[in-house]
């Protein structure tokens, strides 16, 4: 029988509640040792004294069976304390005691100088992760029957008093940062079995912001991008900014911000983790509170020596990489937040490419030097679809110069929030602009079709064949047919306001000779005249003329007019065949200035967006704002021209996430020439 069992039986015997078997077992135990007999007599004396005190009766005079007054008072105090402890213990169910270490100790003292007891227990389930300072476990809180994340210091790190203090300091800082987006800490202590410090915190699951970013960009690369996913990532980013802003208000700088240190759950909860590398501002609120409570450690722990490098290099600010510890402040965390935003936009860490040279990995010091001395990479270099406004916010946060960054995490969050808020309005304007672009393309197609119909109509005119036959007849007959054709073309031009010129040409031996030409004045559109023979064109036939002559009867070919200098025109040509010989003789041309084709359509559409028409040589043929310089090139005016040209060469439309430019391509029949219609959303 052990001592605890014997004590229980002695207590029951004093209250005369033992069974015969228990009484026999107790007598047998008391007869074995003198210590057991003495313990039984003392228990009898205490029980009798307590009973007398409770009854308020007389106290025996025999000093052998009587306690002194001082002993009675001590006994009363012990009984009251025992009753209170019993009451507290009755409200809790405990399987094991966990000991907590008081963190206020000297550098050379033992890690456990003072112990407190608490009735709770954690059962380790599986390892979630491990770092140089501690191991994170999924654990079961047996008292409250819930899962928690339990971080326990590694045995190797525990050998260093400095690391021990750093671990406890991390727990204290986390516990003092009570914010919805900072992981809540439940308790901290020392494992009685291993002797290692630990702290328990809320467990959200295994998903981190890094996992969510990886999923989003995997979908994007598979062309199954969901805009809602980006919105959720940016919303999570705003929560991280708010947590860091709160920490800054308490004088705490995180110094190790990265997507892996942000936990997510399935219901939108975002928690910033791992404050082990945090720096305390000596003038901050939390530093003052810890100092007053006696929990502030010496400078070797609360401050990092100059020249040390603290943080994760892939997300590190230049001043961190340079070891300028005295320069680290809130703007260092702003850089870290910008690095997280970079990862959200691109799927990569900002310094990921900086760690490679000629296909290999740089030495650590070379890598840090590269971070310290180089500008931040552009998100668009990794992901061209990144919205420019959002890229600008990211690049400002990651500026090499600290003064150029947003001054606070709150301002960075405000800029991103403003971008999100204006996104719907921009999307609405952009959708409207896309409809305008498609409508304009459709209207220009109709205009070109009407130009082709006009040219085809000219071929069927009787004077066309009459003038052809009169070439070998007398001058008088030729003049008669020419006058008749001129009259018809003048009347036709008056009914077609967009026509700039109509002509009938003969082609022989690769030379072109105009027989009749009608021109509309550029300065007075109502002035339409027939050019005298001295002004008619004669010379070598160009490529377009030759292409027209190769078409079947009635077929048209459309191209830019290269003969009318100073005018941006589109010309439609149809071949003319000799009815007698059925051989190609010449061609008829219907010409229209692009300005005259587009302006009426824009008035009908009533758009405020800027519209450009650009040919395949990158020449701007038309600009709705009339601000372009003559002969200007698209790359000099349209900021996204290279991407627009590349995209519309393979796809019918250019649609961008920036919601600034939309473009489509209108191809001409019978050749590879085209017009790119580019729209830029109005500010």
- pLDDT higher at 407 or 95: 407
Confidence at residue 521, expressed as pLDDT on a 0 to 100 scale:
87
Please give the Cα distance from 2 to 10 (Å, whole number).
12
Share of the chain above pLDDT 90, in %: 36
Query: Cβ distance 338 to 346 under 8 Å?
Result: no
Q: What is the pLDDT of residues 214-273, one digit of tens each?
A: 999 998 888 776 778 889 999 999 999 999 999 999 899 999 999 999 999 878 889 998
Query: In this predicted structure, what is the pLDDT of residue 104?
Result: 39
Pick the residue with more confidence: 104 or 85? 85
pLDDT of residue 296: 46
Q: Which one has a higher pLDDT value, 408 or 285?
A: 408
pLDDT at 85 over 80: no
Please tell me the predicted confidence (pLDDT) of residue 284: 56
If you average pLDDT over each of 51-55, 160-164, 422-426, 528-532, which comes out highest?
528-532
Which pLDDT tens digit goes with each residue over 442-461?
999 999 999 999 999 999 99
CATH of range 209-407; options 3.30.300.30, 1.10.10.60, 1.10.10.10, 1.10.510.10: 1.10.510.10
Average pLDDT rounded to a whole number, residues 336-357: 87
DSSP letter string, 43-104: HHHHHHHHHHHHHT-PPPS-GGG---HHHHHHHHHHHHHHHHHHHHHHT---SSEEEEE-S-
Q: How many residues does the chain have?
A: 683
396: left (phi > 0), else alpha (psi -120 to 50), else beta?
alpha
448-596 and 604-680, same CATH topology: yes
Confirm if 114 and 168 have CB atoms less than 8 A apart: no
Q: Quick one: pLDDT at residue 627?
A: 60
Q: Is 394 exposed, middle or buried (0-12, 13-18, 19+ CB in 10 A)?
A: buried
Residue 622 has pLDDT above 80, yes or no: yes
Of the pLDDT bands very low, low, confident and very high (cuts 50, 70, 90), residue 213 is: very high
Q: What is the dihedral of CA 60, 63, 65, 71, to 10 degrees?
A: 100
Q: pLDDT-based confidence at 116, cuts 50/70/90?
A: very low
Residue 113 has pLDDT above 50, yes or no: no
The whole-number pLDDT of residue 305 equals: 35
Per-residue pLDDT band for 389 (boundaries 50, 70, 90) equals confident
User: Among 121-135, 430-444, 660-674, which range has the highest average pLDDT?
Assistant: 430-444
d(CA 346, CA 417): 19
Q: Is the pLDDT of residue 37 over 50?
A: yes
By percentage, how much of the chain surpasses pLDDT 70? 75
Residue burial 353-388, b: 16+ Cβ < 10 Å; e: rest = ebbeeeeeeeeeeebbebbbeeebbebbebbeebbb
Report d(CA 661, CA 64) in Å as an integer.
105
For the residues 489-493, what does the mean pLDDT come to?
A: 92
Residue 335, pLDDT score: 96
Residue, of 439 and 9, whose pLDDT is higher: 439
What pLDDT shows up at residue 282? 60
Given a cut of 80, whether residue 66 has pLDDT beyond it is: no
Of residues 475, 663, 527, 509, the one with CA closest to residue 586: 509
Residue 361 has pLDDT above 80, yes or no: no
Which of 50-59, 107-116, 316-325, 572-581 shows the lowest mean pLDDT across its residues?
Answer: 107-116
pLDDT value of residue 370: 84
Q: pLDDT at position 58, please?
A: 45
Q: What is the pLDDT of residue 682?
A: 81
Q: What is the phi/psi pair of residue 558, to 5°?
A: -120, 140
Q: What is the pTM of this model?
A: 0.59
Distance CA 556, CA 550 (A): 10
For residue 17, pLDDT over 80 is answered with no
Q: What pLDDT does 526 receive?
A: 85
Least confident of 220-224, 326-330, 484-488, 557-561: 220-224
- What is residue 595's predicted lDDT score, i.e. its pLDDT? 86
* DSSP state string for 203-272: ---S-BHHHHHHHHHHHHHTT---HHHHHHHHHHHHHHHHHHHHHHHTTEE-----GGGEEE-TTS-EEE
Q: What is the pLDDT of residues 632-669, one digit of tens each?
A: 899 999 988 999 999 998 888 999 877 889 999 998 87
Residue 365, token pair as written in the block: 């010091």
Question: What are the residue boundaries of the structural domains of the chain, listed by start?
Answer: 3-90, 97-202, 209-407, 448-596, 604-680
Query: What is the three-class DSSP state of 417?
Result: helix
Q: CATH 3.30.200.20: does it fit domain 97-202?
A: yes
Question: What is d(CA 636, CA 35) in angstroms, rounded to the nearest whole number?
Answer: 104
Does 380 have pLDDT greater than 80? yes
- pLDDT value at position 35? 61
Residue 170: CB partners within 8 Å, gap ≥ 6? 133, 275, 276, 278
For 163, the token pair is 């690391």
Three-state DSSP class for 141?
strand
> What pLDDT is recorded for position 74?
66
Helix (H, G, I), strand (E, B) or coil at 501: strand
Query: Which one of 3.40.50.880, 3.40.50.20, 3.30.450.20, 3.20.190.10 gives the CATH number of domain 448-596?
Result: 3.30.450.20
How many helices and strands, by DSSP H and E, does the chain display? Answer: 22, 25
| 604-680 to CATH, choices 3.30.450, 3.30.1050, 1.25.40, 2.60.40 | 3.30.450
> Across all residues in the chain, what is the average pLDDT?
80
């Amino acid at each position: 029988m052990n001592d605890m069992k014997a004590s229980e039986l002695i207590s029951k015997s004093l209250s005369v509640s033992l069974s015969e078997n228990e009484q026999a077992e107790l007598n047998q135990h008391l007869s074995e040792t003198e210590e057991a007999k003495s313990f039984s007599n003392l228990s009898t004396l205490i029980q009798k004294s307590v009973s007398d005190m409770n009854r308020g009766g007389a106290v025996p005079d025999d000093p052998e069976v009587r306690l002194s007054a001082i002993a009675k008072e001590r006994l009363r105090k012990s009984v009251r304390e025992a009753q209170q402890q019993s009451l507290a213990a009755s409200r809790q169910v405990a399987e094991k005691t966990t000991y907590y270490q008081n963190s206020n100790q000297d550098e050379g003292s033992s890690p456990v100088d003072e112990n407190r007891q608490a009735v709770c227990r954690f059962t380790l389930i599986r390892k979630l992760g491990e770092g140089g300072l501690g191991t994170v476990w999924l654990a079961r809180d047996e008292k409250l029957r819930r899962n928690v994340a339990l971080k326990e210091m590694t045995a190797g790190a525990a050998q260093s008093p400095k690391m021990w203090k750093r671990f406890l300091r991390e727990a204290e800082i986390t516990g003092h940062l009570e914010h919805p987006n900072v992981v809540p800490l439940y308790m901290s202590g020392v494992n009685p079995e291993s002797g290692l410090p630990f702290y328990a915190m809320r467990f959200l699951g295994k998903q981190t912001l890094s996992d969510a970013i990886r999923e989003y960009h995997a979908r994007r690369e598979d062309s199954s991008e969901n805009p809602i996913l980006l919105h959720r990532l940016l919303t999570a980013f705003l929560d991280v900014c708010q947590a860091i802003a709160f920490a800054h208000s308490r004088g705490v700088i995180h110094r190790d911000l990265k997507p892996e240190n942000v936990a997510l759950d399935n219901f939108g909860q975002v928690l910033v983790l791992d404050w082990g590398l945090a720096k305390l501002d000596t003038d901050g609120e939390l530093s003052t509170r810890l100092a007053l409570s006696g929990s502030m450690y010496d400078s070797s722990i609360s401050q990092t020596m100059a020249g040390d490098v603290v943080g994760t290099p892939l997300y590190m600010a230049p001043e961190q990489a340079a070891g300028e510890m005295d320069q680290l402040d809130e703007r260092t965390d702003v850089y870290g937040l910008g690095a997280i935003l970079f990862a959200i936009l691109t799927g990569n860490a900002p310094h990921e490419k900086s760690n490679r040279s000629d296909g290999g990995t740089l030495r650590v010091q070379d890598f840090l030097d590269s971070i310290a001395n180089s500008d931040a990479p552009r998100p668009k270099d990794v992901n061209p679809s990144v919205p420019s406004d959002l890229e600008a916010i990211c690049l400002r946060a990651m500026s090499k110069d600290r003064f150029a960054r947003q001054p606070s995490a709150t301002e960075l969050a405000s800029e991103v929030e403003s971008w999100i808020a204006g996104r719907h309005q921009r999307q609405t304007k952009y959708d409207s602009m896309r409809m305008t672009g498609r409508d304009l393309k459709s209207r220009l197609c109709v205009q070109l079709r009407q130009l082709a119909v006009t040219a085809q109509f000219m071929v069927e005119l009787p004077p066309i064949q009459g003038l052809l036959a009169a070439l070998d007849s007398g001058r008088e007959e030729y003049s008669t047919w020419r006058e008749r054709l001129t009259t018809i073309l003048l009347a036709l031009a008056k009914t077609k306001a967009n026509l700039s010129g109509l002509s009938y040409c003969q082609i022989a031996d690769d030379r072109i000779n105009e027989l009749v030409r009608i021109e509309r004045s550029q300065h007075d559109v109502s002035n339409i005249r027939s050019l005298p023979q001295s002004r008619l064109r004669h010379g070598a036939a160009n490529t377009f003329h030759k292409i027209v002559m190769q078409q079947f009867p009635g077929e048209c070919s459309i191209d830019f007019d290269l003969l009318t200098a100073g005018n941006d025109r589109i010309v439609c040509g149809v071949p003319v065949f000799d009815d007698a010989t059925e051989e190609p003789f010449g061609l008829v041309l219907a010409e229209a200035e692009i300005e005259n084709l587009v302006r009426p359509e824009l008035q009908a559409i009533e758009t405020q967006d800027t519209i450009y028409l650009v040919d395949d040589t990158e020449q701007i043929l038309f600009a709705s704002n009339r601000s372009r310089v003559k002969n200007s090139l698209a790359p000099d005016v349209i900021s996204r021209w290279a991407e627009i040209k590349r995209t519309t060469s393979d796809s019918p439309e250019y649609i961008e996430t920036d919601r600034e430019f939309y473009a489509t391509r209108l191809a001409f029949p019978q050749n590879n020439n085209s017009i790119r219609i580019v729209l830029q959303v109005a500010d």
